Copies of this chain bind each other. A is one copy, B any other.
Amino acid sequence: MARIITFGEIMLRLQPENYLRFFQSDRMEATFGGGEANVAVSLANFEEPVAFVSKLPAHDIGQAAVNSLRYFGVDTSLITRGGDRVGIYYNEKGASQRPSKVIYDRAHSAIAEAVAADFDWDRIFTGAEWFHFTGITPALGQNVAAICLQACQKAKEKGLTVSCDLNYRKNLWSQTEAGQVMARLLPYVDVLIANEEDADKVFGIRAGATDVDSGELNKAGYIDVARQLAQRFGCQTVAITLRTSLSASDNNWAAMLYTAEEAYFSREYAVRIVDRVGGGDSFGAGLIYASLHQYEPQRRLEFAVAASCLKHSIAGDYNRVSVKEVENLAQGSGSGRIQR
């Protein structure tokens, strides 16, 4: 029985090889991923019993999405099968000054057209301790937002901890819509993950003058944003991820954890990027793992940041690292010496 339930969309990810632009060759890498699926895979790799809940077509493409999760030991038995299509995102990896580029083709996917009857949350949550979703899921449509709300209500009713990664996607909904829907969901959320930019866009919460591109850490500002989020929605814990984008090839990566009215700042990693998609998801998975294992706040944060730091070195949406590898980094030097 799964200890953790994540709910959302899993998409086919089509990406040119290496640093090629779209269709520069006629081959694509065809893998799967999506915020909550990524969190599930991370947790499975941490050897946590985890189930991913979604709706997928019964055909071979839908099955391949299921298999990609089963490969890691994610419980896929709660996925509803039906609908016509698997959502797609085309991903072009950036380099140096050329940014990565994402084209979504996810409308009309099975999950986007799901109905309430597709999910029996009472059964789904049986035996579970934690429920996780992101702001992308309710953005898929009003139907899915309603399903999300039902899930949140049932989760609280059954005593699960609920976590949410705010994740605003401007191509799915407007800031206003996002603000309204998320404001209805967040009261059920115990652990909120966000970045400063999304807090502003979705809720208009901001803190003094911060230049998103400058990379200057404004500690007081981050604490202020977290405090506002915690207070407005009653979240126990707010985590803010801190990405400084130097170029498409190099980022700095750190995070802040605000819990019990205390703020903790992690070590900052200078990452040479292999694939930054799923960076935030791997942070969420790390945070869930460390929370379930009762890590102290600072260690909890360092675990989550180290997990997501490693994700940046791994191709694809999924974070393929073990607890031991994360701990080695969180507690070690990050010097990348060979492990023989």
Q: Which residues of A contact B (CB under 8 A)?
A: 14, 18-31, 59-61, 64, 67-68, 70-73, 84-86, 88, 90, 92, 94-105, 107-108, 169-171, 213, 245-250, 269-274, 276, 306, 309-310, 312-316, 320-321, 325, 329, 333-340
Contacts and interface: CB of A to CB of B under 8 A. Distances in A.
27 contacts: A19-B274, A19-B315, A21-B60, A23-B30, A23-B67, A25-B26, A26-B30, A27-B27, A27-B28, A28-B30, A60-B92, A67-B72, A70-B72, A85-B105, A95-B272, A95-B313, A97-B269, A97-B306, A97-B329, A97-B336, A99-B339, A100-B338, A100-B339, A101-B340, A247-B270, A247-B336, A248-B336
Contacts of A245: 335-337
A86 B108 CA distance: 14
A312 B96 contact: yes
Main secondary structure on A side of the interface with B:
loop
Contact of A313 (B27, B30, B98): B98
A326 to B, nearest CB: 11
A302 B336 CA distance: 26
B333 A24 contact: no
Nearest to A250: B272
A30 B59 CA distance: 20
A90 B340 CA distance: 10
Contact of A24 (B85, B101, B315): B315
Contacts of A270: 247
- Give the one of A25, A26, A98 with max B CB within 10 A: A98
A276 B335 CA distance: 14
